[in-house]
Structure formats: structure tokens, C-alpha cells
Amino acid sequence: MKLDVLLGHLLVGTLEHDPATNRFAFAYAQQWLRAKDCFALSPQLPLFELPGQPADAHSAAVRQFFENLLPEGQALDAAASSHRISKSNLMGLLVALGGETAGALRLRLDDVGTEEREGVRPVSDAELSERIRLRPQLPFSVWDGKVRLSIAGFQDKMALYRSTAGWAIVEGVDLASTHILKPEPVSSALAGLTSNEFVCMRLAKAAGLPVAPVELIHVPEPVLVVTRFDRRVREGRIERLHIIDGCQALGLSSGFKYERPYGDVRDVRQIRDGASLPRLFALLADTAQPAAQRLQLLRWTIFQVLIGNTDAHAKNLSFFSGPEGLSLAPAYDLVCALAFDRQALAGTYAMAIGDAFSEDELCPYEWANFAEACGLNPKLVGRELTRLAKATLAALDRELGEAIRLGAKAEPVAMLEQVIRTSCRRQIDMAPEIPSAC
């Protein structure tokens, strides 16, 4: 089984699977290697074969990279069921879902004569509303009998193209979705999530973080609309930008997006084999602008703490990947998780600050511990913590009122306000002690 891997119209390489050995292999195309601006898709998939790398190690790296292109949770279940493919059949799922992934990659059967379909299928607000209401019976990712989503995450979402004519599902090389639409979750335990995320994204922008643009629409159900930062409109064409998430960059499967991949219970909580902040900071040491990139990651980390986003895992962090290496993409999926019941969203951090996995455990010593593990100056950490906490508090009143005016619900906004105010004040108090806590 072979699949062509393309960036736009360009053949980058070939993905192969041998069912007899269950091994995967990826090789860059010669025309890609000859291109002046060619680059590795990921640090874990170098342009040239690593000397002495065992076939099993190469297979694992390839599988981990490509499986991270698939959705998770119910969306993956729906894709497997709709196409009558086992969830463990990576190649089959990539054939079904590889036409449009997060980033620029497209996958297709390696038949140069294959004609790729072009199409624009309008989606009205009325149909969108109906599909939101039908989610208990019909997965939101399935439209016209076909799964239309290959974007990681458990939350319901749909990738659509927006033009002056409205929303549409599109297919084709020069057409691609431009926005991600996220309705309220079906679970009542997560009621108000669209308002929560809307406010947190606006707060991040007000505090100076690069973030994906968001808006809140009503069809009449509330829907958070996120502008895709991996898309760019040029001369009537949609240009896809290559991005990878934190798991792809680290060479981890999606099951290791949390630092404690086996859970927080007593017998396994000491095992920290998953994605971690020190590993992510180490990735940026060899970038074109390491100091700027590491500062951006530090600010991203601090802001997760300030808003109580305990679910900030490695797949909620992305990097642009190109000829100059990695650079951090804008922030997304920013949510005040602590505003929800602990049964709905965990109260422990997805990735520890030092050795602190919760807000209660976080103290000046753990911030200093974090700084040392990540190769950061503790004074810098303290200054940025103070600055961002004060900037977030200063923006809070203005952004909360504006968010409600733009359609956010008052109750979830009030709940997250209490969490964020308390967190910011606590961090401001402890920040001066970080340099001396080493």
C-alpha cells in the first residue's frame, strides 16, 4: 500500500505500509530533494535516512507522524464507521481523510492518473443549525454521507470555506477550508464552552499573545468561528501552510500528548514519558530565532496558568515548519478549564510547571524548577509572569463586557472571571520570589 504525500501540487514523498510486517516507511521524492527550498516535514522525519536507524524505529517515527493527522474521539469513530475501516488501519483512514488535513499535507493513492475532484457545496445557517441539533443521532463530522474532517481533537468541529456567498464545504487542490466552526458541546457538563473559549482567546490577544482570530456567531445556536492560521488567500487561491503539532515535533503518538500518559492515579502518576515543557523548549534551541521563539513559548505557558487551562497539552500547540526550521504558530484552544466541573475537564495540568501538576502545587520554587529544566532565566520568568498577569487583569473588565455584547453568555463568563482574577493575583504575589527560590 502506497500513498503520495503532497504539499499543494508538489509531490513531497511516498508513504508505504507493508501489512506482512506492519512496518511503515516514508521516503522523500527526488524532485523534492532537488528543490532549492526543500525542508523536512518534521524533525522526526529528516530529509536523509539516519545512518544505522533500525527499520522498526523508522516505522514508529513514520506512524507517529501520520497518525497525528487524524482526528480523535467521536470524529475518529465516525470516520472509521462511515468508511467501514478499522480505527487501527492508519493507511485506510489516511486515504479517506487525507484530502485536507491540519496544515498543508494532502495524501492520495499513488496513481499519477488520478483526477482530483473539485467542488463547492454551500452550507446555509439553517442547515448548520439543524446539524448541530442532530448531533446526538448524526456525527457532526459526517456530511452527505462522508466524513469531512481531519483535525485533531475531541470537541465537535467542522472545517468550512467562507466567501461572500457564505459557508461551503470545498474539495480540490486550490480550494480548502478557511475556518473551523465549533458549536457548544452536546454534554451539559461543558455548557458555555464556546463563550469560555471566545473570552480566553480575546484575553490572550489583549495581553499581547499571537492568537488565531475568533468570532462568535449564532445560527441561532452559538458557534465559535476560528480563522485558520494554516491557510492564506492569494490571488483567489487558498494556499495551505505546513504546520505540525507538538506531538509530531517530538515524535510522540497522540496518546502521549499529556506528560503523564498513563493518568494521574497513584500507581502511575510518577511516570512522565509524555510530552513536557522542557522537551518543547529544547525543540526551539536550533530554530532561526531561538530567543524569540522560546520567549513566545514561555508566554504561552504562563497564560495557560493564568486562565486555568489545565488541558494545554502538546496537540494544543503547533509549529510552522519550513526551510528555516520550526517557528511557533498562533495560540488556539484556549479555555478556562477550571471554570468547569472536575468531572468534565481535569483539574491537573496536562504538562507540569516544574513538578507542579496543579494550581495548588504551583509555588515560586516550582516556577524556578521549571526555569532551570527549560533553560530559562528565573528573573525572566518572574518578570513575564508579573507582566502577563497584570496585562490580563487590565484587559479583563473590558473584554468581558465586550464579549457579552458580542453574544457570549453571562453565566460562563462570570465563572471564568472568578477563576482568572484569583489566578492572576496569586501569580503576581509569587512572581517576585521566583529568582530567589532557585
The 8-class DSSP code of residue 275 comes to: -
Residue 300 in 3-state DSSP?
helix
Read off φ and ψ for residue 70, nearest 5 degrees.
Answer: -85, 155
Residue type, 265: V
For the CA atoms of the chain, what is the radius of gyration? 22
Tell me how far apart the alpha carbons of residues 331 and 153 are, in angstroms, rounded to a whole number: 15
CB of 295 within 8 A of CB of 301?
no
Given the residues 4, 156, 245, 311, the one annotated as active site: 311
Closest C-alpha among 428, 421, 438, 305 to residue 377: 438
Residue 429: active-site member: no
Q: Which residue has the cell 472568578?
A: 418
Q: Is 236 left (phi over 0), alpha (psi -120 to 50) or beta?
A: left
The 8-class DSSP code of residue 326 comes to: E
Closest C-alpha among 295, 325, 322 to residue 230: 322
Closest C-alpha among 37, 54, 64 to residue 251: 64
Residue 401 in 3-state DSSP?
helix
Kind of pairing between the strands at 214-218 and 231-234: unpaired
Tell me how far apart the alpha carbons of residues 52 and 33 are, in angstroms, rounded to a whole number: 21
- Strand stretches in 323-431, DSSP E: 325-328
Kind of pairing between the strands at 214-218 and 166-171: unpaired
Active site residues: 311
